Chain A
Amino acid sequence: MALHRKHILSGFLGLVVTGSFAAGVFEPELKAQGSLPDTIFSLRPEGGKELDPARTYNKVLDILNEKYVGDNLPSARKLTYTAIRGLLNAADDPYTRFLDPDEFRQLKEENDGEFDGIGATLEPQPTKEGYIKVLRPVPGGPAETAGVKRGDMITKIDGKPTTGLDVDEAVKLIRGKAGTIVKLSIKRSGQAALVEKAITRRPVELPILEYRMLEGGVGYISLLQFNEVSDRKIELAVRDLEAKGMKALVFDLRGNPGGLLTSAIDISSRFVKPGSDVVWIEEAQESDRKKTNGRVRYLGERWPFTILVNRTSASASEIVAGAVKDNKTGTVIGATTFGKGLVQTLMPLDDGSAVLITTAKYLTPSRGDINRSKTQRGGVVPDIEVEVTEGQFLKGEDPQLKKALEHLHQKIGYTKTGKNTTGAPKNP
Chain B
Amino acid sequence: MNGVHDMGGQHGLGVVIPEAEGSAFHAVWEARAHALVIAAPTRGNIDAGRHQREKIPGASYLTMTYYERWFEALCQMLFAGGFVSADELATGNANPGAAKATPRLNAVDVPIAMAWQGSYLRESVAEPAFAVGDRVRAKMMNPIGHTRLPRYARGRTGVVENCHGSHVFPDSHAHGGGEDPCALYTVRFTTRELWGPDASPRDTVSLDLWEPYLERA
Pairing of A with B? no
Residue ranges of A at the interface with B (Cβ–Cβ < 8 Å): none
